[in-house]
């Protein structure tokens, strides 16, 4: 195949991408519909996972191999995503409707909480001002004149309110970044405390000052200042409870992904389980490599082969001895001398070699492609106006020479569904613009990166479920285990307390470092 044909097939491949992919998409979809875990109801704690039969996977591989000549960047394999585009089955409808009603319920709760907090905040902020203004409005003539001390207090009230306003804005006015199942206990407690506090102040004010029309204006103003001071202290309490308390690390948390066992450790302070789950999820998107269902097919087919090899015949007559049957199967499987470990070893060694070979070809192709591009300096730009290209055109010009090698490499490492031709071209023009070397361009494709690197809408899970035996607002303890489930996999989180460390000191005098020779001589006499 000449290079000209290569370029032709690349460009035309993109144009008939949609027609071709729909066919394969539908094929693949029918075969792959089952491996999604059916997480229909939120109240149940069990998940049913159906494993697909072994043959269709191999068949799909074969069909993909024969269409390998086509430089097609579209989705010729199935991607198991959360949103279904073409076909909607009965269970999908049920699930979507439940999602809708759940989301409506949660939104209402969130907005209700926000409005309550906002109303309370406004009330609290206006209270001192009201305390000061009401006597002026209602019985101005009876009031004692306000001396210099009193007017000084006005200034301090104004500034303290300003500080309170800025502090509240900094602490509380934030975009909610997550939707948690239960209320924040500390926030609710603080709101209740503020409400009770302000209520009691109003009560006192109403009874002792409004009713009796107290004429000591300075006293009233001092009263208002004391309210603002107390509010500032409550703000300090809020900072300590909501922000500072969980900064010191107390627990070490191990997060393991259920499908492939990838694990990480994080340090957390005193948090409630739901907030700890939030921290874990935020770090998950940054630290864990992206979930790739295509990598799991090998182990699933091996598992199917293990159990499919044995058949149980009941010769002792009718009687459903299921437990005895399964025990017999397990014992027989253990005794059977199968060579699947051999297969696995050679398969993996083979795969490793293939990946390395393709990687070498890819690196060479990309390096060669990058040598064709040269950045024009400013003075050169005036000299040769005819051939100048912007980064996008330059990327499109060198792309065909590396396209085949890149596609083959992505296919071998099963990452092809994460990169479309458009995204590759964009990345290439980005690298050209920023003077990146070929290796920098390739780092995105050689190894699977964290989920954040890929298209947000497709690969981010929209809905996570927190499964926990303890209440999600209770704090973390040593030995707590909770599970974060999404459609395709789950993250098992294990909490361990950092042990109490007893550190003692030992002083060594620098002069005490003395040494002696250890001899063993032999003398002949």
Contacting positions for another protein (CB under 8 A): 518-525
User: How far apart (Å, rounded) are the C-alpha atoms in residues 521 and 525?
Assistant: 13
User: How far apart (Å, rounded) are the C-alpha atoms in residues 291 and 418?
Assistant: 11
Of the pair 315, 519, the CB lying nearest another protein is at 519
Of the pair 46, 524, the CB lying nearest another protein is at 524
DSSP one-letter code for 241: I
Give min distance, CB of 516 to another protein, in A. Answer: 9
Q: Which residues of 445-483 are buried (b: 16+ CB within 10 A; e: fewer)?
A: bbebbebeebeeeebebeebbbbbeeebbebbeeebebb
Give min distance, CB of 287 to another protein, in A. Answer: 51
Of the pair 1, 517, the CB lying nearest another protein is at 517
Q: Edge-to-edge strand order for the sheet containing 490-497?
A: 263-268, 251-257, 490-497, 481-485, 465-468
Give min distance, CB of 290 to another protein, in A. Answer: 59
User: How far apart (Å, rounded) are the C-alpha atoms in residues 510 and 18?
Assistant: 77
Of the pair 503, 517, the CB lying nearest another protein is at 517
Taking every pair of Cα atoms in the chain, the longest distance, rounded to a whole number of angstroms, is 125
Give min distance, CB of 508 to another protein, in A. Answer: 25
Q: Which residues of 320-333 are buried (b: 16+ CB within 10 A; e: fewer)?
A: eeeeeeeeeeeeee
- With 0-12 / 13-18 / 19 or more C-beta atoms within 10 angstroms meaning exposed / middle / buried, residue 436 is middle
User: How far apart (Å, rounded) are the C-alpha atoms in residues 229 and 394?
Assistant: 64
Q: Which two tokens stand for residue 67?
A: 């269409």
Give min distance, CB of 284 to another protein, in A. Answer: 56
User: How far apart (Å, rounded) are the C-alpha atoms in residues 287 and 480?
Assistant: 22
Specify the length of the chain in residues: 525
Of the pair 212, 521, the CB lying nearest another protein is at 521
Of the pair 137, 517, the CB lying nearest another protein is at 517
- Nearest Cα neighbor of 271 from 291, 247, 306, 238 is 247
Give min distance, CB of 514 to another protein, in A. Answer: 16
Of the pair 212, 520, the CB lying nearest another protein is at 520
Of the pair 1, 525, the CB lying nearest another protein is at 525
User: How far apart (Å, rounded) are the C-alpha atoms in residues 135 and 117?
Assistant: 28
- Its sign, for the CA torsion 143, 145, 150, 151, is positive
Q: Which two tokens stand for residue 426?
A: 């964009």
- Its sign, for the CA torsion 222, 224, 230, 231, is negative
Radius of gyration of the chain (CA): 35
Of the pair 5, 519, the CB lying nearest another protein is at 519
Give min distance, CB of 319 to another protein, in A. Answer: 59
Give min distance, CB of 321 to another protein, in A. Answer: 54
Give min distance, CB of 517 to another protein, in A. Answer: 9
Of the pair 46, 520, the CB lying nearest another protein is at 520
Give min distance, CB of 512 to another protein, in A. Answer: 22
Give min distance, CB of 507 to another protein, in A. Answer: 30
Of the pair 505, 522, the CB lying nearest another protein is at 522
User: How far apart (Å, rounded) are the C-alpha atoms in residues 291 and 417?
Assistant: 12
User: How far apart (Å, rounded) are the C-alpha atoms in residues 218 and 157?
Assistant: 13
Q: Which two tokens stand for residue 162?
A: 């300003």
């Amino acid at each position: 195949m000449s290079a000209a044909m290569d370029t032709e097939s690349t460009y035309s491949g993109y144009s008939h991408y949609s027609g071709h992919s729909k066919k394969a998409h539908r094929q693949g979809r029918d075969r792959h519909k089952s491996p999604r875990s059916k997480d229909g109801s939120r109240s149940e704690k069990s998940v049913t996972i159906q494993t697909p039969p072994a043959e269709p996977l191999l068949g799909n591989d074969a069909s993909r191999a024969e269409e390998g000549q086509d430089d097609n960047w579209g989705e010729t394999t199935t991607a198991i995503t959360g949103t279904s585009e073409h076909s909607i089955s009965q269970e999908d409808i049920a699930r979507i409707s439940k999602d809708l009603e759940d989301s409506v319920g949660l939104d209402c709760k969130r907005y209700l909480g926000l409005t309550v907090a906002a109303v309370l905040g406004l009330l609290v902020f206006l209270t001192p001002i009201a305390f000061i203004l009401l006597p002026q409005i209602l019985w101005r003539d009876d009031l004692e004149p306000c001396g210099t001390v009193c007017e000084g207090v006005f200034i301090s009230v104004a500034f303290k309110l300003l500080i309170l306003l800025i502090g509240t804005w900094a602490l509380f006015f934030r975009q909610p970044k997550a939707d948690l199942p239960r209320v924040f206990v500390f926030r609710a407690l603080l709101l209740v405390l503020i409400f009770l506090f302000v209520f009691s102040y109003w009560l006192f004010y109403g009874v002792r000052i409004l009713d009796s029309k107290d004429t000591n204006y300075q006293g009233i103003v001092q009263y208002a200042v004391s309210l603002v001071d107390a509010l500032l202290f409550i703000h300090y309490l809020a900072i300590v409870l909501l922000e500072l308390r969980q900064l010191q690390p107390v627990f070490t948390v191990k997060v393991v992904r259920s499908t492939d066992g990838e694990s990480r450790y994080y340090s957390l302070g005193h948090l409630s389980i739901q907030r700890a789950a939030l921290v874990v999820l935020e770090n998950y998107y940054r630290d864990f490599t992206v979930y790739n269902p295509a990598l799991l097919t090998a182990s699933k087919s091996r598992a199917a082969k293990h159990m499919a090899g044995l058949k149980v015949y009941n010769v002792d007559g009718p009687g459903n001895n299921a437990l005895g049957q399964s025990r017999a199967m397990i014992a027989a499987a253990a005794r059977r001398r199968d060579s699947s470990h051999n297969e696995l070893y050679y398969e993996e060694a083979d795969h490793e070699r293939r990946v390395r070979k393709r990687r070498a070809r890819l690196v060479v192709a990309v390096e060669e492609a990058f040598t064709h591009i040269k950045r024009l300096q400013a003075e050169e730009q005036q000299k040769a106006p005819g051939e100048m290209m912007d980064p996008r055109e330059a990327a499109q010009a060198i792309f065909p020479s590396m396209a085949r090698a890149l596609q083959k490499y992505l296919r071998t490492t099963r990452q092809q569904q994460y990169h479309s031709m458009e995204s590759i071209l964009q990345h290439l023009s980005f690298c050209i613009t920023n003077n990146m070397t070929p290796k920098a361009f390739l780092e995105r494709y050689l190894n699977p990166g964290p989920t954040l690197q890929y298209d947000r809408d497709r690969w981010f899970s929209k809905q996570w479920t927190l499964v926990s035996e303890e209440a999600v607002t209770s704090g973390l303890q040593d030995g707590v285990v909770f599970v974060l489930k999404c459609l395709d996999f789950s993250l098992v989180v294990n909490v361990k307390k950092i042990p109490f460390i007893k550190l003692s000191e030992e002083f060594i005098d620098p002069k005490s470092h003395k040494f002696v020779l250890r001899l063993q001589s032999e003398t002949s006499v």
